[in-house]
Amino acid sequence: MPVAPAYRPETTILELGDGFYDVVAPARFPRHTLRRRNERWAARVGLDTLDEAEWLRAFAAFESLPANLPERLALRYHGHQFRTYNPQLGDGRGFLHAQLRDVEDGRLLDLGTKGSGQTPWSRGGDGRLTLKGGVREVLAAEMLEALGVYTSKAFSLVETGEALQRGDEPSPTRSSVLVRLSHSHVRFGSFQRHAAFRDAARVERLLEYATAHLVAEGGATPAGFRGAVVARSARLVAAWTIAGFVPGVLNTDNMNVTGESFDYGPYRFLTTFDPEHVAAYFDHTGLYRFGRQPAIVLWNLERLADTLTLVAPVEALRPVLERFESVFHEAVVAQLLARLGLVPRNADDDAALLRTTIGFLEGSPVGVDRFFFDWYGGEASARRALDGPAAASYAADAFTTFRKNLAKYEPVAPERLAIPYFQGADPCSLPYDEIETIWAAIAERDDWAPFEAKLQAIAELRSANPELAARGRQA
């Protein structure tokens, strides 16, 4: 394959050795129809020179990339699912396909799959992904990246020509295989598996791998690693909060040590800022509702700490958990200011702005995306906002309190308000109903125009607030 000169293959996962993964064979699909190719990120890993046939060989037939992993590896892990421990988990419909380096920052990246066939961990499933599921994941990853959330990237989506039976949607339904680009496939549950077997040697080996290649800032000690993961996870949930995003499911196997958001199943973007919003129809108790996300992430971090007690004293690990709240607060303030396009002031003013923002949004019918669109740049947007569809809500007492705090701030880039995005009538958003409409066009007429139009709109959102989007590239 004619990879670019910047392509830098890696096989570091093989350092882990026996007990961490299973060699698997990819499924053979009757058809390969390319539906999405992430050109921006293909260039960042030196794969933008592949033509369509070469791309499909790499990301639908799963031929090895040059000098890369010779075999496909389904990773092993356990996890708490709705707080019940499940030792039967692992990559059930995916595998690690390749590893490489980011052209721009040199960081290690994984190319992992979803819908690529059965593995020893499929638990009776067919190992496939619906095309609708693939479309939803592409949209989620693109939107989150634009909103400054550190997320896996939807690298490739290929329709595969099978008719799948699913109990939760009309069947038969079309099939696909997705490739994600992310900085890690090491989950909290990866540590949990080896801790459950009381295998201190493998916990230590996984720790060495993670601190050498994935989470270097904490150093090589268990406490340092744990502190780094706490900080990364706190920043992630802060970003979800300001994005108004509900992953739906936050089991320990749905969190990885790099603090990256990934695996978009029953997600929702909030229409209004509702702490009680539940994304997953099967979350009957609301365990993973929007307002509980910080507490859930902290609980999951405690389970990760449990695994490290095999290789470190409890006393050395306990203090790092106490950092979560302060890091979360700092991060949610920074994320708020970035989404509003404002220059930070001082700790007291910034905290007051956060309080009054949340105070207004929680009791308001104004949509999350509408609010941030209307008040991007602060008072510089007042005329635009007060002439818009939410003007009546901006006359409420709670908004008056927020606006007094807002008036203290200067915009990062006031000239940006003149660009077409902010001169438009409505913000880019991704409500559930629109996703359903996009899918209906594909399912009923094979019409991909609404899908492509939404991706273009998200790209315009990303360009409209580059400082916010850049936050999603920070670990």
pTM for the model stands at 0.96
Contact between 117 and 97 under an 8 Å Cβ cutoff? The reply is no
Quick check: helix, strand or coil at residue 261?
strand
Q: What would the DSSP string read from start to end of 260-297?
A: -B---SS-EE-SS--TT----TT-TT-TT-GGGHHHHH
Structure confidence at residue 94 (pLDDT): 97
pLDDT of amino acid 169: 78
DSSP 31: -
Q: Is the peptide bond before 172 cis (omega within 30 degrees of 0)?
A: yes
Does the annotation count 253 as an active-site position? yes
d(CA 27, CA 259): 30
Q: Which residues contact 450 (CB under 8 A, 6 or more apart)?
A: 437, 438, 441
78: its two tokens: 């356990």
Looking only at the bridges linking them, the beta strands covering 268-269 and 153-164 are unpaired
Q: Which one from 110, 253, 263, 369 is the annotated catalytic residue?
A: 253
Nearest-CA neighbor of 340 among 283, 405, 391, 295?
405
* Helix 188-196 with 293-308: angle, nearest 10 deg: 40
Side chain identity at residue 68, one-letter code: N
Contact partners, residue 461, CB within 8 Å, separation at least 6: 143, 146, 147, 421, 427, 428
Own/partner pairs for 344-349, CB < 8 Å, 24+ apart? Answer: 345/408, 345/409, 349/405, 349/408
Element (H, E) at 43: helix 39-44
Contact of 96 with 62, CB cutoff 8 Å: no
- Look-up of token digits 């315009």: 460
CA distance 77 to 72: 16
Residue 331 to residue 325: CA distance in whole angstroms: 10
> Within a 13 Å sphere around the CA of 218, how many CA atoms are in the beta-carbon half?
25
DSSP state of 169: S
Please provide the size of the chain in residues: 475
What does the pLDDT read at residue 171? Answer: 84
Residue-level pLDDT at 343: 98
3-state secondary structure (DSSP) of residue 397? helix
Q: What is the pLDDT along the chain (475 residues), one digit of tens a residue?
A: 788 999 999 999 999 999 999 999 999 999 999 999 999 999 999 999 999 999 999 999 999 999 999 999 999 999 999 999 999 999 999 999 999 999 999 999 999 999 999 999 999 999 999 999 999 999 999 999 999 999 999 999 999 999 999 877 788 999 999 999 999 989 999 999 999 999 999 999 999 999 999 999 998 899 999 999 999 999 999 999 999 999 999 999 999 999 999 999 999 999 999 999 999 999 999 999 999 999 999 999 999 999 999 998 888 777 777 899 999 999 999 999 999 999 999 999 999 999 999 999 998 999 999 999 999 999 999 999 999 999 999 998 889 999 999 999 999 999 999 999 999 999 999 999 999 999 999 999 999 999 999 999 999 999 999 999 998 876 5
Which single residue is written with the structure tokens 């609404």? Answer: 450
Asked if 120 and 24 count as a contact pair (C-beta separation under 8 A), the reply is yes
